[in-house]
Amino acid sequence: ETGVTQSPTHLIKTRGQQVTLRCSSQSGHNTVSWYQQALGQGPQFIFQYYREEENGRGNFPPRFSGLQFPNYSSELNVNALELDDSALYLCASSLVRGGHLETQYFGPGTRLLVL
Amino acid sequence: AQTVTQSQPEMSVQEAETVTLSCTYDTSENNYYLFWYKQPPSRQMILVIRQEAYKQQNATENRFSVNFQKAAKSFSLKISDSQLGDTAMYFCAFMKAGGETSGSRLTFGEGTQLTVNP
- What are the tens digits of pLDDT across the range B15-61? 999 999 999 999 998 889 999 999 998 888 999 999 999 888 999 99
| Of residues B106 and A1, more confidently modeled | B106
pLDDT of residue A1: 65
The verdict on A8 touching B (C-beta cutoff 8 Å) is: no
By Cβ distance, the residue of A2, A56, A108 closest to B105 is A56
- Secondary structure (DSSP) of chain B: --EEE---SEEEEETT--EEE--EEE-S-SSEEEEEEEE-TT---EEEEEEETT--SPPEETTEEEEEETTTTEEEEEE-S--GGG-EEEEEEEEES--TTT---EEE---EEEEEE-
Name the band, by pLDDT with cuts 50, 70 and 90, for residue B99.
Answer: low
- % of residues, chain B, pLDDT over 90: 81
pLDDT of residue A95: 85
The verdict on B2 touching A (C-beta cutoff 8 Å) is: no
Number of other residues whose CB lies within 10 A of the CB of residue B19:
20
pLDDT of residue A29: 87
Q: In this predicted structure, which of A7-21, B58-72, B89-103 has the lowest mean pLDDT?
A: B89-103
- Whether B110 shows a pLDDT value over 60: the answer reads yes
Contact B98 A100 (CB under 8 A): yes
The verdict on A10 touching B (C-beta cutoff 8 Å) is: no
In this structure, the dihedral spanned by the alpha carbons of residues B23, B29, B35 and B41, taken in order and rounded to 10 degrees, is: -70
A97, A77, A63: which is closest to A34 by C-alpha? A77
Average pLDDT over residues B104-117: 95
pLDDT of residue A77: 98
A88, A81, A83, A91: which is closest to A111 by C-alpha? A88
Contact A43 B44 (CB under 8 A): no
Name the band, by pLDDT with cuts 50, 70 and 90, for residue B100.
Answer: low
By Cβ distance, the residue of B4, B105, B108 closest to A33 is B105
pLDDT tens, A13-39?
999 999 999 999 988 888 999 999 999
Contact A106 B97 (CB under 8 A): no
By Cβ distance, the residue of B44, B100, B111 closest to A50 is B100
pLDDT of residue A65: 97
| Of residues A30 and B12, more confidently modeled | B12
pLDDT of residue B103: 62
By Cβ distance, the residue of A42, A90, A103 closest to B50 is A103
pLDDT tens, A49-73?
988 899 889 999 999 999 999 988 9
Residue B4 Cα, gap to closest chain A Cα (Å): 10
pLDDT of residue B101: 55
Name the band, by pLDDT with cuts 50, 70 and 90, for residue B2.
Answer: confident
| Of residues A3 and B78, more confidently modeled | B78
- Whether A12 shows a pLDDT value over 90: the answer reads yes
